[in-house]
Structure 1
Amino acid sequence: MAAATRKRTRAPSPNSHLPSSGDDASSRSEIYCEECGLGDSDEVLLLCDKCNRGFHTFCLRPILPSVPNGSWFCPSCSLPKIPRQFPLVQTKIVDFFRIQRPLLGSEAAWRKQQKRRRAGGLVVAKKKRKLLPFSPSEDPKRRLAQMASLATALTATGTQFSDFLTYSPGMVPRSANCPALEREGMQVISKEDAEALNMCKKMMETGNCAPLMVIFDPKEGFTVEADKFIKDLTIVAEYVGDVDYLKNREHDDGDSMMTLLCADDPANSLVICPNKRGNIARFISGINNYSPSGKKKQNLKCVRFNVDGESRVLLIAIRDILEGCKINCDTYLLPSNCSFLACNISFRTNHLP
């Protein structure tokens, strides 16, 4: 490991609290994470090059997938630029998201669409564990503002909008996304849940987006808030982006990688990288569930499904989310026998509770 990296990962070892011969333990400076208060996982505990305070890569928002090379500054010592707001102009938003028909449709058209949704046969009862498509805001101008907030974030981060997994040349072929390789098991999506997912995709294509607003915070960067009440078990978004082998992302500085496939053979493990192409999912805050308040803040769960023989990651509400609430999804450390640092601090998806 390079010296520039070592100087930022000087966390106390698990036995550092034990005094050694000739040492005065009380005189040593303990280094711990400012977010969770712990000094463990020292291999991913960064030290700010300005204030010398410690932060776990997985406690940062957004999280870092690997220890960065060169200088690194904590959120307090960084001076993020306020992003330029995307124009609140219908034609520009329609072009940006490649919407198939005008965004500001009539109220009658909206009501007709809602009626078709109700006639789709989706069962709402939680005990049957049926997923629900998101319910867009009824006010077309509000939907325009929501999409403008997402366009602002995508433009500021240099990300092209995409609502699907992308298999780019030089990364992995689509055939590599094989759910049968998943070592922990994967849920096979039901017919009803597949209909809900397809309905979400079709609504997004026509400018009826999920009721979410992307907010810029000088300390946290871009975060996402509910712009309307969201019911438990609602599909909020699909996590999308370029699909790549995990082994190719060992030293990737991207801040939003998501585990897509965790195989018995690490060489077959896949991640989603939304740095170049992505949607609103990449701006949803991750919660470190090892911190005391982590699970209390979590209101979304990342769930991997086998959808027509392909692994997909859905972000699903695990409780009712009130308007104005910050959207937080789960983040876990992957098992320690994963040999790559990027795998150890990327998101892990699990079954619905």
Structure 2
Amino acid sequence: MRGLSKTLVYLYLGFGLFFVVFLMYCGLKSLTVTVPKNAQINEVVTFTMHCGAEPRIQSGTYTTQLLAGMMVPKSWNARQSMVLTFTSPKGNGTMRIIPDTETEPVSGLNWHQAAKKMFGIGPNLVDDMEWIVFRSVQAYTFSNNEDIDFTVKATCNVGAENMLVSLGFYVGSSIENLRQEDTDYKKFTFSDVFEVMGADGDLIDFVNPQLGTVQPVKSLDNDIITLTFDAGVTNTVLDAESNIYIKVNAYDTEGELISSLNQPNEKTKLTDVGGLRYMIDLWPRGFFDVAKNKQIARLEYYFTDQTGTKVVGYGNTDEPFKFTFRCD
């Protein structure tokens, strides 16, 4: 009889939990976004999120605030320019960015960090992104079957750099927070590739696999940088080579050649880190032995074999990879 009593208690608890969840379900519809294919540098662009609420509340009401956010490149400085507004049958409004000092209860991080931890950077291959989360000023109360559609518009300056990037979007309910297992109260998605055009500098490609990359993407000539050759991206003339070297030229702010290192040797050899990837860490000023009165503005480089005759450039062509030093 004691075993039977325990079983009945568990059944009652399970039924009670199901009953509470059933009575208080107010999920969100799927999220879709409207994103233009491209924009000019420093253009203020509008990105649109389409979503809706589906309240299934058998007893009482459900009151919450709308959460919405975007993931954008850090170089956009979006915290200074981004504005979120929304329209809905329950009213329209402007949203406010959630302060960094406010903790998202589930993760213990601030809301922006919590969103990045949960949603990641999507199809982007370079992690120079930030999530920015906003909350509606007003709270809204729903009753059973009071389904609505709503639209969130985010306007933002897209920065001053050429780039290809996939943007992230999120909508949610304030009282539900960011629980990992909860998919009903949070919806997120990533856009197709969005291009920013019109700058004189290099193209920053966040989404396409690159034969050659530099990390961090923003640095000065006095910072340590890592150059990577990813031989797994496509077939090149270096496929059969186990020793990879770099040929690199350094230019000053006037476009004059400061130094050139074109000999395959221990100084210019990359380290095999496995997975058909090779890396070299270098401190540019020391690597090129730059005089104190000189500043390195950009690098142009190739990957080569031990003989220096097999050469791979940008996009597997004879054009050099280019990297411009910048910190803004």
Bigger radius of gyration, 1 or 2? 2
Asked if Structure 1 and Structure 2 have the same fold, meaning a TM-score greater than 0.5 normalized by the shorter chain, the answer is: no
Shorter-normalised TM-score: what interval?
under 0.3
Bigger proportion of residues as strand:
2
